[in-house]
Amino acid sequence: MKKTNIWGIFVALFILCLTACHDNNDNNNDNPDSGNTSNSNKEIDQWIYDNMKTYYLWTDQITANPDYKSTPATFFNSLLYKKEDRFSWIQENYVDLLNSLNGVEAQEIGFEYTFWWKSAKMDSLVIEVLYPRKGTDAYSKGIERGDFITSVNGQAITGTNYKTILSGSSSYKFTVSKNLGNFKLSSPATITVSPSSKYAENPVYLYKTIATSGGNTGYLAYNFFANDPGDSTETYNKDLVNALNEFYNNNVSNLVLDLRYNSGGAISAAQILASGLVKSRTSSLLFAKNQYNTAVTNYLVGQYGSDVLNDYFLNSFTPEKPKSAPKVQIPNLGDKLNHIYILTGKYTASASELIINGLKPYMNITLIGDTTYGKNVGSISIYDETSKTNKWGMQPIITKIYNSEGKSDYTNGFAPDYLADDYYDPSGYARVLKPLGDTGEYMLSIALGYINGTITKSSATRSTTTSIRKAAKLDIQTGNRKFDMFIGNKRLKIKQIK
């Protein structure tokens, strides 16, 4: 087999779960292949087939007689076990794939957003900003969480153009209004924004300490799992450790972990976060266990022993770069925590769910929000950087992940302990969104209610709005991330499997 760089089987478990709402109907699998001859298609298809037969979790479901005349995207899709696989994908350029996994975007508009229908006629839409991305022009120009954008470059937003209206331009003139409640908007302002090129978002969005009854509470908004922007410095993990150290030094006894907009990412980052939150941590305490296909399992166990399938909590990590980088100690914050409150949404997925599943055997956890997405499998990045003709990169599912109790039964998502609607207010209109970290922000206020004793579990079990909705949200959240969980290959060198 041609040497293939598999940027994905485990360096610290890079099993990804990422929110641009990535599914097999809204990714790059359907993009036409430009300039490919039938011969080059056949060569690439053979490369796809060989690697899928080797690493794919459901390799026994792959046909023995594929159609090598198909374009690479079509060919890849034809191999997927669609009964269980909602997540594997392929892209025409592996560099774009790797960048997206690290939160690096070629053109970033500057905010996470969703859509609402403007009226019951459903003939036009508005964009609601869920949070602005720090360091972007949109952020510096004052675009805020909860803002409504009613037109873009003078165009109304419709069911026809909403997928493309925020792409392809070097500048965007937004008509922006504030949500006053009951879907009434303030007088509009015009804000012109330039997208950011090669923008790298830091997933550690916000952390702060809040004074609460009985002690301090930490709040951490963590929006995807990545180690760094792709430079092997583990910059983002260092920032995460800084946040945990601040909480430790401030003697926080409760933590509110905001994963509402976190659709996944690198398992190695999830492992570091979980290691900071677990009680009585040791390096022999089991975080997760991986199940691969038979050939991969046999190879790994034969080379490294059965323990290679296990992932343990970490006491520290050492960045690959710079070469002499010192070891980074992970604080034992979990030993100070009485309870962890996790804010969830329908796009909380993959590595976020790994955190929930991996910590449940050890910690008191309360989920507040919506049922999570339900992704208990992880992928690897496969590409051939030596080829002059094959620039494709694929992200196939290769492992199913279990916690220390052998549980992995959340394909329908984790149901919240407190079902709360982050989008609709009790009157059925779009909720007025306060800034993330504001103690009056709806979801955070519920967690603080638990901590301060104004909300009890018995009274909160299924609490949610039951009114008729008077506004209609388009059921899609948009941004730059995908639902995924991925692995790195420095610890497990499986590329030699035949």
pLDDT in tens, 372-413: 999 999 999 999 999 999 999 999 999 999 999 999 999 999
Q: Could you tell me if residue 405 is inside a domain?
A: yes
pLDDT in tens, 234-282: 999 999 999 999 999 999 999 999 999 999 999 999 999 999 999 999 9
Counted domains in the chain: 3
| Residue 24 confidence (pLDDT) | 39
Do 133 and 258 sit in the same domain of this protein?
A: no
Residue that is last in its domain, among 175, 199, 223: 199
- Name 189's Cβ contacts closer than 8 Å, sequence gap at least 6: 175, 176, 177
Do 358 and 441 sit in the same domain of this protein?
A: yes
Do 292 and 263 sit in the same domain of this protein?
A: yes
CATH code assigned at 337: 3.90.226.10
Do 117 and 178 sit in the same domain of this protein?
A: yes
Do 250 and 182 sit in the same domain of this protein?
A: no
Region label for 214, one of left (φ > 0), alpha (ψ between -120 and 50) or beta (otherwise): left
What's the angle, vertex CA 179, arms to CA 201 and CA 264, rounded to 5? 30
Total residue length of the chain: 498
Calculate the alpha carbon distances from 131 to 29, 203, 233, 331 in Å.
29, 12, 26, 29
Identify any residues that bridge with 115 across adjacent strands, giving them in sequence order: 127, 474
Where is average pLDDT lowest: 122-131, 226-235, 358-367, 460-469?
Answer: 460-469
Q: Could you tell me if residue 469 is inside a domain?
A: no
Above pLDDT 90, what percent of the chain? 75
Do 120 and 46 sit in the same domain of this protein?
A: no
Question: CA 355, 303, 55, 353: dihedral to nearest 10 degrees?
Answer: 0
What sign has the CA pseudo-torsion 10, 15, 20, 25? positive
CA distance 381 to 102: 12
Q: Could you tell me if residue 32 is inside a domain?
A: yes
CA distance 258 to 217: 13
CA distance 157 to 422: 23
Do 275 and 371 sit in the same domain of this protein?
A: yes
Name the burial class of residue 101, with classes exposed (0-12), middle (13-18) and buried (19+) by CB atoms within 10 angstroms of its CB. buried
Query: How many CB atoms lie under 10 A from the CB of residue 13?
Result: 30
CA distance 217 to 449: 12
Do 96 and 130 sit in the same domain of this protein?
A: no
What sign has the CA pseudo-torsion 206, 318, 103, 191? positive
Give residue 169's identity as a one-letter amino acid code: S
H/E element holding 243? helix 235-249
Mean of the per-residue pLDDT values of the chain: 87
pLDDT at 187 over 80: yes
Residue 325, token pair as written in the block: 């980088």
Q: Could you tell me if residue 472 is inside a domain?
A: no
DSSP 42: H
CATH code assigned at 114: 2.30.42.10
Q: Could you tell me if residue 459 is inside a domain?
A: no
Reported as a pLDDT band with limits 50, 70 and 90, residue 206 is very high
Which domain covers residue 25, as residue numbers? Answer: 5-103+481-486
Given a contact cutoff of 8 angstroms between Cβ atoms, the answer to whether 314 and 275 are in contact is yes
Do 67 and 154 sit in the same domain of this protein?
A: no
State the chain's maximal CA–CA distance in angstroms. 69
- pTM here is 0.87
Do 20 and 167 sit in the same domain of this protein?
A: no
| Residue 343 confidence (pLDDT) | 98
Q: Could you tell me if residue 385 is inside a domain?
A: no
Residue that is last in its domain, among 156, 184, 199: 199
Q: Could you tell me if residue 36 is inside a domain?
A: yes
Residue that is last in its domain, among 133, 164, 199: 199
| Residue 425 confidence (pLDDT) | 84
Give residue 83's identity as a one-letter amino acid code: K
Given a contact cutoff of 8 angstroms between Cβ atoms, the answer to whether 257 and 340 are in contact is yes
Q: Which tops the pLDDT comparison, 480 or 142?
A: 142
CA distance 272 to 453: 31
Q: Which tops the pLDDT comparison, 360 or 67?
A: 360
DSSP 187: P
Above pLDDT 70, what percent of the chain? 84
From the list 364, 378, 376, the residue with the least C-alpha distance to 407 is 376
Q: Could you tell me if residue 462 is inside a domain?
A: no
Do 187 and 316 sit in the same domain of this protein?
A: no
Do 116 and 67 sit in the same domain of this protein?
A: no
CA distance 154 to 145: 22
Give residue 202's identity as a one-letter amino acid code: N
pLDDT at 355 over 90: yes
